[in-house]
Structure 1
Amino acid sequence: MQLKNFMEDLVWQRLDEVLAGHRNVCKCEKCRYDVVALALNFLPPRYVVTSQGETFTRVKSLEQQFNVDILTAISHAVQIVSSRPHHEPK
């Protein structure tokens, strides 16, 4: 058995899509991880253990509001991380 926050997979899946809309944002590995971590803090976790739980969460992820919430959280996290990156400007 494995405990998994399925929301993490969903955020990683949508990250590049959101970053593509933010041209002047650092896309280094450190900033990407900071964005994902912060976005996950804005979203409710979706822990699953069984394949049935994962299937339920996948079905839920097809709902429009669920996707809007994920995209909003990532966009908000991008704004915060880009305003205060944890590395020197390039």
Structure 2
Amino acid sequence: MLKNYMEDVVDHILPAMLRAFPDICTCEQCILDIKAITLNHLKPHYVVTQKGEVYSRINEMHLQFQTDVMKAIIDAIDIVSNNKRHG
């Protein structure tokens, strides 16, 4: 199994971040755009073993790591809010 662990991190943090922005569109297209932009601005973190995933979970607990992910999500929300791809 090859997996970009950052996808799990974004999936975990994104719902709480969206609640902080009640005016943002939460249709499937906007959510996918937010996730894609966020992941494109974060360094990928690939894991292939259970041990690698455990290490990644420990790394996720660090404050700077969480701050970096949250900033990337906020930036993506701002981009999508100002450039919706639907009517």
Query: How many residue pairs were aligned?
Result: 87
Match of 2:16 in 1: 17
Match of 1:3 in 2: 2
Match of 1:56 in 2: 55
Match of 2:36 in 1: 37
Distance 2:21 2:49 in 1: 36
**Secondary structure, counterpart of 2:33 in structure 1:** helix
CA shift, 1:76, in A, is 0.5
Aligned CA-pair RMSD = 0.6
Taking structure 2 as the reference length, the TM-score comes to 0.97
Counterpart AA for 2:63: Q
Distance 2:36 2:69 in 1: 13
Match of 2:83 in 1: 84
Distance 1:52 1:76 in 2: 31
Deviating above 2 A after TM superposition, structure 1's stretches of 4 or more consecutive aligned residues are none
- 5+ unaligned residues in a row in structure 2: which ranges? none
Counterpart AA for 2:8: D
| Percent pairwise identity | 41
- 5+ unaligned residues in a row in structure 1: which ranges? none
Taking structure 1 as the reference length, the TM-score comes to 0.94
Distance 2:22 2:5 in 1: 28
